[in-house]
Structure formats: C-alpha cells, structure tokens
Amino acid sequence: MATTAAKKPCGKCSKGGGVTTCDGCQQSFCTKHFVEHRQELSQQMNNISQDHELFRRDMTKEIPKHPFLTRIDTWERESIGKIQATAEAARADLRQLLDRTKNDLKNSVEKMTYELHSCQQSDDFTENDLKRWAEQLKELRKKLDTPSTIFIGNDDDTKSSIRLIRVYDKQHHQQQQQRPFSSMIRPPEQRIHNIKDIKGTVSVINEKFGEIDGKATLSEDNLLVTCCLASILTQPIIYGVNRYSTGKHQIRFRIEKMGDLRLFFGIIRSLENISRSGQAQNNNNSLYGWWDLNEAIVNGKVQTSKYRNIVTTGDELTLIIDCNNKQIQLQHHRTKRLAQLLIDLDKCPFPWKIVIRLQSAGDCIRILQ
C-alpha cells in the first residue's frame, strides 16, 4: 500500500490538514481558513488605502505655523530693535568724535594763528619756520578731511545672535586686546616689548619724538631732540608719536645736556597741543606732568611751587604711563625719587601722548631704547 506524506496542520484551527501555504506569512491553511486569511489581508489593504487618501487630502491643506516660525519672528523683531538702537548710538558716538576732532583742530588753528601773526609782525621767521607751518597746515587739513582716530567695525564683544556695529576711537581701539579688526598691524614705532621689573610686568614702547612746536631739531632716528633757540615764543614743545589708552608703559630718557632752566615731562590728550597764548592755563586742561620733580601740573595748572632743580645733565628718568590705574609716574634714577599724579579722564580722556618742554638753548634729551 502506498503511504501518504504527512500534511502540515492549519495555522488557524490546528485540526485539519493545510491545503495551501501563504507566500507572505509562510503559514499553511485549510480551505476555510485560507479564505478568511485573504479577507483579513483585503481589509488591511483597505485600511492602508484609506490612510493614504487621508494623507493626500492633508497634503493639500495649508501647513500649520511651525513653532520655530514664531521664534524666528520674535528674533527678527528683537534684532531690528537692537540694530536700530545700536545704529542710533553709533551715530551719536560718531557725531561726538567728529565734534571733538573739530574742536581740537580749532584750538590748534587758533594757536597757529597767534604764532603766525606774532612772528609776521616781528619779522621773526626763517625757512625752517615756513616749512614747519606748511607741514602743520598739511597735517591739519588731513585731520579735517579724514579724521584718523575714527574707526568703524563689528562689535565682537556682543553676546547677541547678530553682529552689531559700533563706532570706536581708532587709537584706543588698536590698543585693546582681541578687539574687532585686531589683524590691523601696529606701526613699527608702536610695537611693544615686555620686560620685568620689581613691580611686575610692564610694557616698554619704542617711543620716538614726533611733532615739534618751537625751535628744536630731531636726530638719530628721532630719538634725540635738541633745543636750538629759547625765547618765550620759541621754547620747544615736543610730542611723542605713540598713543596710550590701556596697559602700563614706561619710556626712559637721558638728559644729554641741560641749562639752568627746568625741563617738563608729562602727558596731554592726543588731540590737544599746549597753547602758548595768555590763556594757557584755561586751554590746557588735559596737561599733566612735572617741571623737574617738584612742581606738578594738574589739569594745566601748577599745584606746587618749589623752584629747586633736581634733574641735571647725565640724569636718567622714566615716565611710567599706567592707563589701567589712570595715573602717571616720573622716576628719577639717581635720587630714586618717584613722583605720581592721578589723571582725571573727564579732563584728559584717552588716548594720551607724551609731551616734553625744553627751556634753554642746547637742552638735549634722548629716548633710551
């Protein structure tokens, strides 16, 4: 007798033998349950078709506002407000800087006018004076047309999600560490070297003599200044080339030759020069320093009146400019004396420049590097 192969039981009833196998689930079904299985699959197909059609209808509807859109709208309104407020502040800063530059130029022009008229009336001028006045006019014209101390750039200090704009004083800005446009290269004469002294780290700047008002000559790469002639109108006033707004710096001088009259060492705001007019004390509010070591000048006015010479030929002095603590010091190395003055920034705002005044023909000062 022939034997029949064993049949797989139905996946539903487990009683009858399976007559067919589903290619999808690989289960065997009897005839009854195979029909039911196909009906179940048909129902699932209908459900998927309905979901598909519903999704298609939803796709045609307007997309609801995403919550991030609300966040973006809020950011836009806040950013526009910040930009408008910052732009207005920048305009105000720019107007203030332009007005300050104009006023400083006005003071310089008035001083030059007085000197021109005086020398012209007394017929006391030479080719050197004419050349110096021409250079001064050229420099004043340059400052009027393109104020070199004004700089505009991105304010990277802001913590907001947008980059705001801000107006800076260029000289002050260039001496700030890691500020906008910090890739701008410092001129060679303003490069800083760090040294250590007993009071900590200070910066020694390669300072040089620059602008001269009066009778004096510069030599040895502008490190040496010599007084040529000294009268009330020609006693030379010499300014440094660097500008100081931050940090602590020292400039060392040696008195190569000195007459009977005292020397002045100090600072003044960068856009101001010492006036020779009769109203000097009112015009030089930003002048700070010392005649010798014993007569201090604060806001352009004498604070002490001890006329006694301490400094003499061969002496070395160090002018210490401490912007962080708003003070200057003058150290006399032979006597180890140290004079100190606190600076009122309302009277003498940053940036500062050094100023030296000679009084006797032949006076000679050297900047030590």
pLDDT at 344: 93
Q: Quick one: pLDDT at residue 316? A: 96
For residue 266, is it within any domain? yes
Specify if 299 maps to a domain.
yes
The reply to whether 209 falls in a domain is: yes
Domain identity same for 203 and 348: yes
> In the chain, which stretches have pLDDT less than 50?
1-4, 157-158, 177-200, 278-282
- 138 and 192 assigned to the same domain: no
Read off the tokens for 254.
Answer: 């040696």
User: Residue for token digits 């002050």?
Assistant: 172
Q: In the prediction, which pLDDT does 168 show?
A: 58
Picking from 119, 153, 184, the residue at the C-terminal end of a domain is 184
Please check whether residues 51 and 100 belong to one and the same domain. Answer: no
pLDDT digits (tens, 9 = 90+) for 250-285: 999 999 999 989 999 999 998 888 877 543 344 678
> What pLDDT is stored for residue 150 in this prediction?
67
Same domain, 193 and 180: no
Has residue 205 been placed in a domain?
yes
* CB-based contacts of 94, cutoff 8 Å, min separation 6: 150, 152, 167
> In 123-221, which ranges are continuous DSSP H helix?
127-145, 170-174
Residue 327: which H helix or E strand, with range?
strand 327-332
Asked, for residue 262, whether it belongs to a domain, the answer is yes
Q: Which helix (H) or strand (E) holds 56?
A: helix 31-60
Question: CA-CA distance, 187 to 207, in Å (whole number)?
Answer: 11
Phi, psi of 279 (to 5 degrees): -95, 35
**For position 1, what pLDDT does the model report?**
44
| CATH number reported for the structural domain that contains residue 355 in this entry | 2.60.120.920
Do residues 174 and 229 both lie within one domain? Answer: no
CB 225 within 8 A of CB 333: no
Specify the pLDDT at position 211.
92
Instruction: Determine the pLDDT at residue 197.
Output: 37
Asked if 29 and 121 sit in the same domain, the reply is: no
Is residue 9 included in any domain, yes or no? Answer: no
Q: From the CA atom positions of the chain, what is the Rg in Å?
A: 41
Structure tokens at 350: 């940053």
Q: What is the pairing mode between strands 164-169 and 192-197?
A: unpaired
> Domain boundary at 55, 76, 104, which?
55
Q: For 67-107, give the DSSP string.
A: HHHHHHHHHHHHHHHHHHHHHHHHHHHHHHHHHHHHHHHHH
Say whether 171 sits in a helix, a strand or coil: helix
Asked whether residue 121 falls in the same domain as residue 255, the answer is no
Give me the half-sphere count of Cα atoms (radius 13 Å) on the Cβ side of residue 169: 20
Query: Whole-prediction pTM value?
Result: 0.49
> Could you tell me the residue range of the domain that residue 35 belongs to?
20-55
Do 111 and 220 lie in one domain? The reply is no
Within this chain, do residues 28 and 105 fall inside the same structural domain, yes or no?
Answer: no
Residue 62 exposed, middle or buried by CB count within 10 Å (0-12, 13-18, 19+): exposed
Contact 330, 318 (CB under 8 A): yes
CA 283 to CA 275: how far, in whole Å?
A: 6
12 part of a folded domain = no
**Statement to judge: residues 230 and 323 lie in one domain:** yes
Domain count, the chain: 3
Q: What is the pLDDT of residue 166?
A: 59
Predicted pLDDT at 119: 86
**Burial track 82-109 (b if 16+ CB lie within 10 A, e otherwise):** eeeebeeebeebeeebeebbeebbebbe
